[in-house]
């Protein structure tokens, strides 16, 4: 199982990056159609600012030093996989939370995909290793680079 954790983490990273794109698409479509106070929700500046905040961050995992986005499983290190998983799973949850807000009460009803996405998003910070485990992996590597070995807990 331990030999496949990096692959699972990379798969989680790819899934989260792609899901953020889907949620942003849902939000743009919904806000372009929904009217409030006599105009489309998309016409409000606050609404316009939400998707652009998440879109560049969704694309930035490509700049991480990983081969995950080219599906080169064997070349990716444990550290690369941990960084990718931590970054994209946190972005996944933040983007879903921000986008759900624009759906108002509809975002709370599970008949709508955004509400189910919100419920389901939380698992990405746990599956394949929690965010805290990813931080531990990254911290160990950072301290090891300066010659300091962190004590193992437990």
Residues 2, 5: Cα–Cα separation, whole Å: 5
Taking alpha carbons only, the member of 98, 121, 100, 92 closest to residue 13 is 92
Q: How many CB atoms lie within 10 A of CB 29?
A: 11
Three-state helix/strand/coil letters over 37-52: CCEEHHHCHHHHHHHH
Catalytic amino acids? 8
């Amino acid at each position: 199982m331990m030999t496949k954790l990096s692959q699972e983490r990379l798969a989680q990273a790819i899934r989260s990056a792609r899901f953020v794109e889907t949620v942003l698409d849902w939000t743009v479509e919904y806000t372009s159609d929904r009217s409030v106070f006599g105009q489309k929700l998309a016409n409000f500046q606050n609404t316009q600012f939400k998707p652009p905040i998440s879109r560049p961050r969704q694309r930035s995992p490509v700049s991480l030093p990983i081969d995950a986005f080219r599906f080169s499983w064997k070349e990716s290190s444990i550290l690369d996989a941990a960084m990718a998983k931590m970054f994209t799973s946190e972005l996944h949850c933040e983007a879903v939370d921000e986008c759900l807000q624009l759906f108002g009460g509809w975002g709370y009803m599970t008949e709508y995909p955004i509400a189910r996405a919100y419920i389901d998003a939380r698992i990405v910070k746990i599956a394949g290793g929690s965010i805290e485990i990813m931080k531990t992996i990254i911290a160990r590597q950072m301290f090891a680079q300066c010659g300091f070995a962190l004590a193992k807990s437990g």
